[in-house]
Amino acid sequence: MADETYPDDLKYHPEHDWARIEGSEATFGITWYAQDALGEVVFYEPPEIGATVSKDSPYAEVESVKAVSDVYAPLSGEVVAVNEALTDNPEQINEDPYGDGWLVRVKLADASEAEALLDVAAYRELLAGD
């Protein structure tokens, strides 16, 4: 498994999801904390391309041997790409949660929603309070 990290360039959602915002699109995934709490991911089924995701609502599930965990959308929009490699290698979510373990790429509905997300300092503060 990866070492505990929280990259500076990401925005964080309190349900332990991250967004990498690039212009009008963003990539989503789950944080190191989320994958560590869940354990080894053995099943992930991506949403369909074209599906609508809504900020603060679950858009997929990740499953470990013991548990099922909802994945929350940090921002609203339309899914334009999914990480197909995770179908056969869901453990990439544990091994590289901010890289090969990305979940979906979304065309954002409202870029201003990002203002409500946490920066890395605020997210670390939230983790420290858990």
Partner 1 sequence: MESAAALRRTPLYESHLAAGAKLVPFAGWEMPVQYSNGVIAEHRAVRSACGVFDVSHMGEIETEGPSALELLQRLLSNDVAKIEPGGAQYSLLCRDDGGVLDDLFTYRLADDRYLTVTNAANHERDLAWFSDRAEGFDCRVRDRLDAYAMLAVQGPEARAIVLGLTDGELPPRMHTATRVVNGAEALVCGTGYTGEDGVELLVAPDAAPALWKALLAAGATPAGLAARDTLRTEVCFHLYGNDLSVDRNPIEAGLGWCCKEGTGFIGSEAVAEARARGTAEKLAPFVLTERGIPRPGNEVVLQGERVGTVTSGTHSPSLGRGIGMAYVRADLAAPHTEVEIDVRGKPRAGRIESKPLYDPARTDTD
Residues that bind partner 1 (CB under 8 A): 1, 39-40, 42-43, 45, 61, 63-66, 68, 87
At 65, list the tokens: 């041997």
Distance, in Å, from the CA atom of 68 to the CA atom of 47, rounded to the nearest integer, reads: 16
Distance in Å, CB of 68 to partner 1, minimum: 7
- The nearer residue to partner 1, 27 or 94, going by C-beta atoms, is 94
Distances (CA, A) of 108 to 18, 81, 90, 91, 102: 14, 13, 25, 27, 16
Q: Are 97 and 7 in contact (CB under 8 A)?
A: no
Distance in Å, CB of 42 to partner 1, minimum: 4
- The nearer residue to partner 1, 53 or 86, going by C-beta atoms, is 86
- The nearer residue to partner 1, 19 or 53, going by C-beta atoms, is 53
- The nearer residue to partner 1, 43 or 122, going by C-beta atoms, is 43
At 98, list the tokens: 């901010």
Distance in Å, CB of 40 to partner 1, minimum: 5
Distance in Å, CB of 72 to partner 1, minimum: 16
Distances (CA, A) of 75 to 36, 39, 57, 99: 23, 25, 9, 19
